[in-house]
Structure formats: structure tokens, C-alpha cells
Chain A
Amino acid sequence: MKQLSTKVTSNAHGQDSSYFLGWEEYEKNPYDEIKNPNGIIQMGLAENQLCFDLIETWLAKNPDAAGLKKEGQSIFKELALFQDYHGLPEFKKALAEFMEEIRGNRVTFDPSKIVLTAGSTSANETLMFCLAEPGDAFLLPTPYYPGFDRDLKWRTGAEIVPIHCSSSNGFQITESALQQAYQQAQKLDLKVKGVLVTNPSNPLGTMLTRRELNLLVDFITSKNIHLISDEIYSGTVFGFEQFVSVMDVLKDKKLENSEVSRRVHVVYSLSKDLGLPGFRVGAIYSNDEMVVSAATKMSSFGLVSSQTQYLLSALLSDKKFTGTYLNENQKRLKIRQKQLVSGLEAAGVTCLKSNAGLFCWVDMRHLLDTNTFEAELELWKKIVYEVKLNISPGSSCHCTEPGWFRVCFANMSEETLDLAMKRLKEYVESTDSRRLISKSSHERIKSLRKRTVSNWVFRVSWTDRVPDER
């Protein structure tokens, strides 16, 4: 009889294991401006480090919030004892209003429909537990965040069936792709319980278009299934267009109090917009009372620290701060993204046109030796080892076309981004000249590389390190 559960022994989260090689290498040799200027630059981490100064200034002006005081009086005891899974009311109110602000106050969020969770990692898993039985499936457009394989499937037993999106139309979701995914699930004998999208998208950095959102709402209506919209990047929209939430679409279609609206759920978090992944603040928003009720009880397994709820309720209740922050955050992200895009252009590399997120979806297909995932992995290894940049290969995001990479821009200084672009340009230029010489020995090298890649993948699949950052 087995001593540990199958969840532990099956290692069901080790799928795109080669992905972790980059992480390992980075950890061994991390770039530091002063201490290690030739080290690997981390561009695989979707962190928002651009606006800490704004938060730090606010903290300095409002010491009570972190100091566990309210109007100069200590509230330490009340917070220390506060473990109500309904959450701190002031915090849920402030969070609801913040979510409204991000959506231009076009839609309203009722604080009583919010369930607080320890990060959106917890929110997504909890929603799976509430909406799906083991063996049920959710449809997800590819490419998607690698963490979903663990978050949605591992302990829940739910399955993911991909909705294949391709570069032919900018990776947008089409009706035929949706239907194909649904039929594929049926072929695999899986009951489809819903669709999960990330909007704005990780790794694409694009907002879902109104057309796609309408398509999704129509689809779930006809199939009588759920729609989860993970809007964790909603505050990172920097394009000219406004962010259109699934809640906007429900309102525009006059479906707010309909039965369909009870099957639409939003996931949020402060990890990306506010750059606070360490504080573990996530939320589920649902119009279905039973989902809110069950999810609230389940949140016992991952409550937000009351110390943190209090701090953030003070921060988010300050409307002057939130208005300035959201504005400034957009501005800085836009500038930084432009820096990356032009840097890549200078290296002859393009990206998917993006208007949100903390990363670009970069097209390196022309740098592949062959139009294969093996070639993508080879290119990636070169970029990690020779160019010394850790970026995320599209295969780790279940992209169906080789050659795409996610490159983050908001987790480093301008100077570091410049350096990264310089290194890439140098590599591309040298590769171009090298490729002309080695074309003849190409076949021999191809077979060699294939074997080595497989071994690496095998070895790394048992590594203990999983990057939980998105």
C-alpha cells in the first residue's frame, strides 16, 4: 500500500519541466548591476516593480495603517483576533470600489459578493472546487499561464482542455476554436463545466476584445456552463482603449440580473496591479449566492492575514491615492513596454501588439532553426546560457506554434532593460552571421541536440523548484 497520496507521488505539476531550467540557471547566476553585471537577467517574472515609490510615500504619510493603529489608537488586539472568513468589511468595501475604479466606474461590485482568498492562486483553485467535480473540464484559450496546470487541476481533479488560438488572427478566441475545444472534451468523455479566460491575457498582454467577450457570453449561455474571468491584470491596461471587463459586457447585454450572470465569476488580486504578491490578497466575485457561500467557507483554508487586510483597507480607501496610482501605473507601464518593444525592434524582433500586462509576447519564429518545439527549446537555452536572459518559452504556456516567448519588462530598472536589449541585439547579429556558415552541418547537429534536450527535460522534471510567480 502506498504511503503517500497519489497527488504527491504523481508529480502532476511537473509538466513543462524544461521551463524550470531557466530558473535554476538564474538562481545560480543572477544579474546584479554592481555585484554580478554579467549574470542572467530575469525576464520571466511578471512582477510590477514600477510604482513602489508611490506606495512607500503613502506608507510614510500614513504610519497608522502598518502600525496597527486607527486614529492613533492601537487596534492590535482586534486585528490579532479577527479571523472571520467574511473578511474585514472596510477592506472588502475598499476593494470593491477599487475594482470599480479600474473599470471606470461603469459597473458596480457588491462587497457582499466578494470572497477574500490568499492570492488568486487560492481563488482559482477554490472556484474549481466549487464548480467542478473531479474529471470535469474547463476550456482555456492557449497560450495560458503555466501555473494553471497546477492551480486548476492538481488537488481538484479537474481537467483543462485547450481552446487553440493562433498567430493568424493575433491569438484571438474564435467561435470555431471554442466549439472544437468543446467537442474535443466530449471526445475525451469529459463534462465541460466552464471556460476560464485571463483578461487582460497572460502571456499575450492583450485585452480580450468585445467581440471575444460577447462570443464567450453567448457560448456559455448556449451550453449552460460557467465563465471565469481572471482579471488580475485589469489595472495594467495602458493602451488607448479602456479595459472591458466581462461585467461590462453583462451590463451592456442587459444580463445583470439574469440567470447567466450567476454563472459568470471574476477573479482578482493585488499582486500585479499593486505589485504586492507577497501579501497574498486575492478575491472571487460571484453573483451566485451559493458559490459565494461555499467559497467563503473554503476560504478558511487560505484567509488573508488581518494585518494585511487592515493595511490595504486604509490604502485603498484613500481615493486620492488610488486615482493617482492607477494613472501613474498606466503611464509607467506604457513607457516601459515601449522601451522593450523598440529595443526588440532594433534587434529585428517583433511582438504581438499589446495594450496591457507586464510582458510582451515576442515573435522569435524567424530565429528558430526549424519550425519545431525542439528548436524553440534550443533557442531558449541559448538565450538563457549565452545571451543570459531568462525568458519564458511559449511551449511552457501551451502555445501551439513554436517560436513565441513571453518577455517581462516591469520587474527591472530601465538600465537593466537597456542592457538586456543590447545583449539580445548582439546575439541576433552574431547568430545571423553564424547561421550562414553552419547551414551545412545543420543536420548532424540537429540529431545531437534532440537527444540532449530530452535528457535535460527528463532530469529537470523531478526538480523541486517551481516558480509560482506568474
Chain B
Amino acid sequence: MDLLSRKATCNSHGQDSSYFLGWEEYEKNPHDVVKNPHGIIQMGLAENQLCFDLLESWLIQNPDAASFKRDGQSVFRELALFQDYHGLSSFKKALADFMSENRQTRVSFDSNNLVLTAGATSANETLMFCLANPGDAFLLPTPYYPGFDRDLKWRTGVEIVPIQCTSSNGFHITKLALEEAYEQAKKLNLNVKGVLITNPSNPLGTTTTQTELNILFEFISKNKNIHLVSDEIYSGTAFSSSEFISVMEILKTNQLENTDVFKRVHIVYSLSKDLGLPGFRVGAIYSNDKDVISAATKMSSFGLVSSQTQYLLSSLLSDKKFTKNYLRENQRRLKNRQRMLVTGLEAIGIGCLKSNAGLFCWVDMRHLLSSKTFEAEMDLWKKIVYEVKLNISPGSSCHCEEPGWFRVCFANMSEETLKLALKRLKKFVDNGTLSRSCQVGESQSLKSSRKKTTTTVSNWVFRLSFHDRDAEER
């Protein structure tokens, strides 16, 4: 008899295992300005480290929030005992207002429709448990965050069917691609329960356009049992608030409040990216469906937010002066940092998808591939990790259809480190052009040695698929 469950033994989250190679190498040899200047620079981590100074100043000015005090009085006991899965109402209210602010108050959020969860990881899984049965499917536009394979599918038994997006139109979702995905699900005998998008997109760094949103809403209006989940975890990283259109806005502008569509649109949020607080595990589900709210609330028992953290953040987010300034400053700094990366890459002859949000760029290195294949992408990626000493994320790990695209993060390091990374890349590209011209004559012998490399990759993939390290950061 099997002692452990299949979930425990199948390791169904080890798919893009080669992805973890970069992580391993980074861990062995991490860059440090002082201690290890030649180490690998981490550019595969979508963290927002640009505004900690603002948070730290606020903490210094407001010491009560972290010390369990309110107006100088201790609230330690109340917080220690507070495990109500409805959440601290002052926190939910502050969070709802913050979400509204993020959307320039074009829409408002009712804190009663919010469910707090331990991070968006928990929120997304919980939504799957609420909306789908094992064997049902959700359609996701590619490329998408690799963690979804685990978060949406692993314990829920739900399947993901990709909506293929390509560079031909900037990776936008098309009606055709959506319908093809739906048909594909049917062919695989899967019941489609919804579409899940990340808006702004990870890994693209772009906001979902009005056209795309129209296509999605048309789709779920037509198919009455399909939900739309919009993971808006990066909403505060849109460089310009006016360019980010939330699904909540569509519901409002299209006056869908009294239609059945209203209850089939759900938002996921988190403070991990906008506020740079992934360690605090603060996520949320927002839904207009009372049954979903009720069930998700009960399920949140399995991943509640620490009351200590709820209290700290309810203070922080209730300070409207702070939030207003923070959102604006955050946007400004992200925009500047992105420009630094983009111009730096341009100077090397590398283009990116034009982006307006996120903590990363979707970089086009197709011209650096030795062949238009994923093996070549893996080769290039390994070179970038081992020789250029940059850990970036290969598009294949995001289920991208076309080889040669990479996600490169810019908000998790200092300006100097970013400049250094670009310098290294420039050196590699300049040298690479040279060595590639030498290689043309030797293509045959190279081809066979590359084949060996493919085998080695497979072994690595195999070996790594049992590796215990999983990069849970987005």
C-alpha cells in the first residue's frame, strides 16, 4: 500500500525544473557588492525593494503599530486572541480603501466582500477550491507565472489549459486564441470553469488592454458558467494609474451590477509586490458572490493572516497621507528603474516588450539564440547564468510558446547593481557576436555536441525534479 499520497510523491510541481538550476547556482555564488562582486546577480526575483525607506520612516514615526499599542495602550491581548476568519475589520477597511486608491478611486471596494488569506498563493488556491471541482479547467493566457502550475492545480486537481499568446501582437489575448483554448479543453474532455488573468501581467509587465478586457467579458457573458479571476497583485506597480484598468471598472462602466456576470468576476490581491512585503503573507480575495465569500472565508482558516501583521498594516494603510505619497513615489521609482533597464538593454541591441507596469521586463533575446528552439533558449540561459552571471527567467518556464524571451527583474537591486548587470551583459553580447561568426563553419560538430547538451539538460531536469528547492517568489 502506498504510504504517502500521490500529491506528496508525484512532485507535480517539478515541471520546469531546469528553471531551478539558476536558483541553485545563485545560492552557491550570490553577488554581493562588497563580499562577492563577481557573484551571480539575482534578476529572477520579482521583489519590490525600491520603497523600503518610505515604510521604515513611517514605522519610526508610528512606533505603536508594531508594538501592539493603540493610543499608547497595549492591545496585545486582543490581538493575541484574535483569530476570527472574518479578519480585523479595521484592516479590511483600510485594505479596501487602498485597493480603491490604487484604481484612482474610480471604483470602490466593500470590505465585506474581502477575504483575507496568507498571501495571494493561498488566495488563488482557495478560489480554485471554491470555483472548480477536480478535473475542471481554467484557461490562462501564456506566458504566465510558473507558480500557477502548483498553486492552481496541485492540491485542487484543477487543470490549466493555455490561451496561446504570441509576439505577433505583443502577446495580447485574442478572441481566436481564447476560443481555441476553450475548444482544446473540450477536446481534452475538461469542463472549463473560468479564465484567470494576471493584470498587470507577470511576466509581461503590461496592463491588460480595454480590448482584451472586452473580449474576456464578452466571453464570460456568453458562457454563463464561466468565471473570470483577475489577479491584480501588481496593480500598484502600473507606472501610470490611468493605464491600469481593473475588471471592477469594467463591471461598473458596463453597468453589469445587476447581471449574473457580476457574481462571476473575482479579484485576487496581495501586498507582496506593491508594498514589497512578501514575508508578511497578506493576500485577499474580492468577490461579489456571497456564497464564494462565505466559503472562501471558512477556507481561509487554513491560511489566516497573523493578527500582529493585520494590526501593523491596518495602521499603515489607514494613514491616507502615507498611502497617497507611497503609491505615487512607488510608481515614479519603478518607472525610472524600468527605463534604466530598457535603455541599458537597447544599448546592447536587445529589445523588450514595451511595458508599463510590473517589477520586470519581458526581454527579447531571440536574436541571440543559435536556433529557434527551446533547447537553444536553455543553452543561452545557462550561458547567462554561468558566464554572464545573471539569473534571469527563461520564457519556457512561463509556458511561453516562442523561444528566446526572458523575464528580467529590475526592482530587487540597487541602481549600481543593475548597471553592473547591464555591463556584464553587454560584454557577453559583444563577445558572443564574435564567437558566433566563428561557429558557423563548425556547425556540424557543434550540432552533435549540442545534442549531448540536450541530454545533459534532460538529466539535470530529471535530477532537479526531485530537488527540494522551489522558488516560490513570483
Residues of A at the B interface (CB closer than 8 Å) are 1-9, 13, 47, 49, 52, 55-56, 59, 63, 66-68, 74, 76-77, 79-83, 85, 118-119, 121-122, 125, 129-134, 136, 150-151, 154-155, 191, 224, 226, 263, 271, 275-280, 288, 290-291, 293-298, 300-308, 311, 464, 466, 468-469
**Closest B residue to A13 using CB positions:** B298
Q: 12 A-B contacts, Cβ less than 8 Å apart?
A: A4-B295, A13-B298, A79-B279, A81-B47, A121-B302, A130-B7, A278-B306, A280-B118, A304-B306, A307-B279, A307-B308, A466-B298
**Closest B residue to A289 using CB positions:** B468
- Tell whether, in the assembled complex, residue B308 and residue A290 are in contact, meaning their CB atoms are under 8 Å apart: no
User: In the complex, what distance in Å separates the CA atom of A81 from the CA atom of B110?
Assistant: 29
Chain A residues with CB under 8 Å of B302's CB are 118, 121-122, 125, 151, 155, 301-302
Taking CB atoms and an 8 Å cut-off, the chain B residues in 345-383 that contact chain A are none
Q: How far is the CB of B147 from chain A (nearest CB, A)?
A: 8
Q: How far is the CB of A447 from chain B (nearest CB, A)?
A: 35
- Tell whether, in the assembled complex, residue B4 and residue A291 are in contact, meaning their CB atoms are under 8 Å apart: yes
User: In the complex, what distance in Å separates the CA atom of A47 from the CA atom of B49?
Assistant: 39
State whether the Cβ of B446 lies closer than 8 Å to any Cβ in chain A: no
Chain A residues with CB under 8 Å of B150's CB are 297, 300
- Given the contacts A76-B52, A77-B52, A121-B301, A307 and B306 also touching, CB distance less than 8 Å: yes
**Which 10 residue pairs are nearest across A and B when measured between Cβ atoms?**
A306-B279, A278-B307, A302-B303, A294-B8, A305-B306, A8-B295, A278-B82, A82-B279, A83-B278, A277-B83
Chain A residues with CB under 8 Å of B458's CB are none
Chain A residues with CB under 8 Å of B292's CB are 4, 8
- Tell whether, in the assembled complex, residue B119 and residue A303 are in contact, meaning their CB atoms are under 8 Å apart: yes
Which of B55-63, B249-257, B417-425, B436-444 binds A? B55-63
**Closest B residue to A301 using CB positions:** B122
- Given the contacts A5-B129, A8-B130, A301-B122, A130 and B81 also touching, CB distance less than 8 Å: no
- Tell whether, in the assembled complex, residue A308 and residue B306 are in contact, meaning their CB atoms are under 8 Å apart: yes
Chain A residues with CB under 8 Å of B134's CB are 134
Chain B residues with CB under 8 Å of A131's CB are 3-5, 8
- Tell whether, in the assembled complex, residue A83 and residue B472 are in contact, meaning their CB atoms are under 8 Å apart: yes
Query: Which of A66, A80, A118, A125 contacts B278, CB < 8 Å?
Result: A80
Q: How far is the CB of B297 from chain A (nearest CB, A)?
A: 8
Residues of B at the A interface (CB closer than 8 Å) are 1, 3-9, 13, 47, 49, 52, 55-56, 59, 63, 66-68, 74, 76-77, 79-85, 118-119, 121-122, 125, 129-134, 136, 150-151, 154-155, 191, 225, 227, 264, 272, 276-281, 289, 291-292, 294-295, 298-299, 301-309, 312, 468, 470, 472-473
User: In the complex, what distance in Å separates the CA atom of A178 from the CA atom of B98?
Assistant: 54
Q: How far is the CB of A106 from chain B (nearest CB, A)?
A: 28
- Given the contacts A68-B59, A297-B13, A304-B281, A119 and B304 also touching, CB distance less than 8 Å: yes
- Tell whether, in the assembled complex, residue B131 and residue A155 are in contact, meaning their CB atoms are under 8 Å apart: no
Q: How far is the CB of A246 from chain B (nearest CB, A)?
A: 18
Give chain A's interface secondary structure class: helix
**Closest A residue to B272 using CB positions:** A83
Most buried by B among A129, A271, A290, A302: A302
Q: How far is the CB of B113 from chain A (nearest CB, A)?
A: 14
- Tell whether, in the assembled complex, residue A83 and residue B281 are in contact, meaning their CB atoms are under 8 Å apart: yes
- Tell whether, in the assembled complex, residue A129 and residue B279 are in contact, meaning their CB atoms are under 8 Å apart: no
- Tell whether, in the assembled complex, residue B308 and residue A278 are in contact, meaning their CB atoms are under 8 Å apart: yes
Q: How far is the CB of A105 from chain B (nearest CB, A)?
A: 27
User: In the complex, what distance in Å separates the CA atom of A156 from the CA atom of B55?
Assistant: 40
Q: How far is the CB of A96 from chain B (nearest CB, A)?
A: 19
**Closest A residue to B310 using CB positions:** A278
User: In the complex, what distance in Å separates the CA atom of A125 from the CA atom of B122?
Assistant: 14
- Tell whether, in the assembled complex, residue B133 and residue A5 are in contact, meaning their CB atoms are under 8 Å apart: yes
Chain A residues with CB under 8 Å of B264's CB are 3
**Closest A residue to B311 using CB positions:** A278
- Tell whether, in the assembled complex, residue B83 and residue A280 are in contact, meaning their CB atoms are under 8 Å apart: yes
Chain B residues with CB under 8 Å of A263's CB are 3
Most buried by A among B4, B121, B294: B4
Q: How far is the CB of A158 from chain B (nearest CB, A)?
A: 9
**Closest B residue to A128 using CB positions:** B5
- Tell whether, in the assembled complex, residue A59 and residue B76 are in contact, meaning their CB atoms are under 8 Å apart: yes
New A-B contacts (19) at CB < 8 Å, excluding given A131-B3, A151-B301, A278-B307: A3-B227, A4-B130, A52-B76, A59-B76, A80-B279, A80-B280, A81-B49, A85-B470, A118-B118, A130-B8, A155-B299, A277-B81, A279-B307, A301-B151, A301-B302, A302-B118, A303-B281, A305-B308, A306-B281
User: In the complex, what distance in Å separates the CA atom of A121 from the CA atom of B67?
Assistant: 27
User: In the complex, what distance in Å separates the CA atom of A280 from the CA atom of B117?
Assistant: 12
- Tell whether, in the assembled complex, residue B279 and residue A83 are in contact, meaning their CB atoms are under 8 Å apart: yes
Q: How far is the CB of A72 from chain B (nearest CB, A)?
A: 13
**Closest B residue to A302 using CB positions:** B303
**Closest B residue to A125 using CB positions:** B302
Chain A residues with CB under 8 Å of B13's CB are 297
- Tell whether, in the assembled complex, residue A129 and residue B155 are in contact, meaning their CB atoms are under 8 Å apart: yes
User: In the complex, what distance in Å separates the CA atom of A295 from the CA atom of B468?
Assistant: 11
User: In the complex, what distance in Å separates the CA atom of A130 from the CA atom of B13?
Assistant: 14
- Tell whether, in the assembled complex, residue A133 and residue B66 are in contact, meaning their CB atoms are under 8 Å apart: no
User: In the complex, what distance in Å separates the CA atom of A328 from the CA atom of B457?
Assistant: 59
Q: How far is the CB of A289 from chain B (nearest CB, A)?
A: 9
- Tell whether, in the assembled complex, residue A76 and residue B130 are in contact, meaning their CB atoms are under 8 Å apart: no
**Closest A residue to B225 using CB positions:** A1
Q: How far is the CB of A156 from chain B (nearest CB, A)?
A: 8
- Tell whether, in the assembled complex, residue A300 and residue B121 are in contact, meaning their CB atoms are under 8 Å apart: yes
User: In the complex, what distance in Å separates the CA atom of A412 from the CA atom of B423?
Assistant: 65
Chain B residues with CB under 8 Å of A294's CB are 4, 7-9
Chain A residues with CB under 8 Å of B66's CB are 66-68, 307
- Given the contacts A191-B1, A278-B81, A63 and B67 also touching, CB distance less than 8 Å: yes
